Amino acid sequence: MTARILVVDDIAANLRLLEAKLLNEYYEVQLASSGPEALATVQRWMPDVVLLDVMMPGMDGYEVCRRLKAQPGTAHIPVVMITALTDPVERVRGLEAGADDFLSKPVDDATLFARLRALLRMKQVLDAWRLRAETARDLGFEPPPGPSPNVAGARALIVNEDFDEADALTRVLAADGIDVAHCTDSAESWDILMDGQHDVVLLSLSLDGGDALRLASRLRAQAATRDLPVLLVADTGQKGLVLRGFDLGANDHVLRPVDPNELRARVRNQIRRKRYQERLRADLDRSLEMAVTDPLTGLRNRRYVRRHLEGVLRNSGAACLLIDVDRFKSVNDTYGHAAGDVVLREVAERVRGHLRAADVIARYGGEEFLIVMSGATTEDGMLVAERLRAAIANVPMVAEGHALNVTASIGVASGGIGAQSDDVVSAADAALYRAKNNGRDRVEPAVEEDWPPSADRGTPAARQAR
C-alpha cells in the first residue's frame, strides 16, 4: 500500500532516518523541519499521513496538529506524533489536539508500519466518501452541519472477561456521557453489535483463544459493523497481538494499566471520526436523493425516470403514461404561480395514490408527469390512465382560497423488451397531443402513426396481473 508521508522533525538526523525507512517500504516521502514548513507542505502536497515530532522550537507539534485538525481541508489527514516524552499527560494532550496515535523514540519499525497500514485503510474510506460529497457540493448541494464534538449519548460495548476492569472502564467512559454495555465473550458481543447501533467497541486481548482478534476480523467483514471503531485493551507484553489486531482492522489501543484520561481521549476521537464518516455518507445520500428528486412535488425528476425507463425496457418492457395538466397557464395567469404550485403538488399526490409501489412517477417538466409501469401493456396503461384522469378531475382542488376544476390529458404507449426509451416516450407524447386536440380531459393510446418510422418496439413480455 503506497502513500504520501510527511515527516516533520527539527533534527536532520531523525528526518533522514525515517525517510530511509519509509522509502525502503516504497512510500512517497516529504520532509519538513519546522511547524510552519509542515503546514505549508500539507497545503501544497496533501499527504496521506503526517509523522510529527512533538518537541520543536517556535511552533511545537501540538500546535501544528491543532491547526491541521481545525481546517476542513486537512482535518481528515491522520497525524501520528513521535516523541521521547513518556508522561501520559503528554499523550493525552496530543490526543486532545487531534493526534491519531503516539510513537516513542526510537521508533520501532514493526509498530510504525502496522499503524501506517491501519491509518491508511481508514483514510482511504474517508477519502472515498469525501470525494463523493465534494462532487455533490460542486453540483450545488449544500452539506448539512458537521457532527457535534460532544460524544454524550454515544453507545460503547466493552467485551471483557474481567468484571472489575470492565466496571472501571465503564465509569471512565460514563464521565463523557457515553452509554456503556458489557459482555464477557465474543459470541454474545457479536449478537449485540449486529444491531448496528454502537459507536465504538473495546475488546480485551485477554479473551481466551484469541477470540478478540477473531471478533475484530469478523466485524470488518460485515456491512453493518465494517465502520465500527475497534479499540484494543492490552497488556504491555501483548505487542504482537496489538500489531496483528491493527492488520485485522482494529483502529486504536490502550495499554494496561489504563490511564483514564488517555482512554477518554482515544474513545472520543474514534467516536468523532465515526460520526464524521456518517455525516459524509448522509451528505452523499441526501445529495443523491436531491439529484433525482423534483423539489416542488417530491417526485422523481426527468433525469431519474429516463434512466429508469431505459433499464426497465432492457428487462421486462413497460407502459409509459405521459400526463399534462390542461390549461395550466391560465391557472398561473389568473391565480398566480403559488396557486399553480399547489395544483402541481395536488396532482402529484392524487396520481401517486393510485399507482403500484413498483410504478415510478416523475415530474417530467413544467406541468407534465411521466409514469413508467414495468411489465405493463398499452391496455394495462389505458386502464390505469383512465383511473388517474378521474382522480384528478372528479374533486376540485383548493389553491390560494379558490376551488379549481383541474383536468389532465394522458397519452399511453408501451414498449417491449429491447425497445428504445426515446421511441416509447415519443409515441406517448404524440398520443398526449392527440388527447389535447380531441378536447382535453381524456386518455388516448398511441397508434401506428405515433411511432417513429424506424422504431423497434421490442419483444412483448409475458403479461403481468394488474
Q: Catalogue the active-site residues.
A: 367
State how far the Cα of 66 lies from the Cα of 17, in Å rounded to an integer. Answer: 26
In 3-state terms, what secondary structure has residue 361?
strand
φ, ψ of residue 255 in degrees (nearest 5):
-105, 145
State how far the Cα of 108 lies from the Cα of 129, in Å rounded to an integer. Answer: 32
State how far the Cα of 119 lies from the Cα of 64, in Å rounded to an integer. Answer: 19
Ramachandran assignment for 422, one of left (phi > 0), alpha (psi -120 to 50 degrees), beta (any other): alpha
The conformation of residue 327, written as its DSSP 8-state character, comes to: T
Alpha helices in 316-438 (DSSP H): 328-335, 337-352, 378-393, 421-437
Instruction: Report which of 239, 267, 264 is spatially closest to residue 252, judged by C-alpha positions.
Output: 267
Query: Which residues, at least 6 apart from 183, have a Cβ–Cβ distance to it below 8 Å?
Result: 157, 158, 159, 189, 192
Ramachandran assignment for 202, one of left (phi > 0), alpha (psi -120 to 50 degrees), beta (any other): beta
Please report, to the nearest 10 degrees, the dihedral formed by the alpha carbons of residues 233, 239, 243, 248 taken in order: -50
CB 196 within 8 A of CB 143: no
* C-alpha cell recorded at residue 402: 379558490
Query: Which residues, at least 6 apart from 128, have a Cβ–Cβ distance to it below 8 Å?
Result: none
State how far the Cα of 441 lies from the Cα of 396, in Å rounded to an integer. Answer: 14
Instruction: Report which of 124, 127, 105 is spatially closest to residue 116, judged by C-alpha positions.
Output: 124
Q: How far is CA 436 from the centre of its chain?
A: 45
What's the per-residue H, E or C state across 216-235? Answer: HHHHHHCCCCCCCCEEEEEC
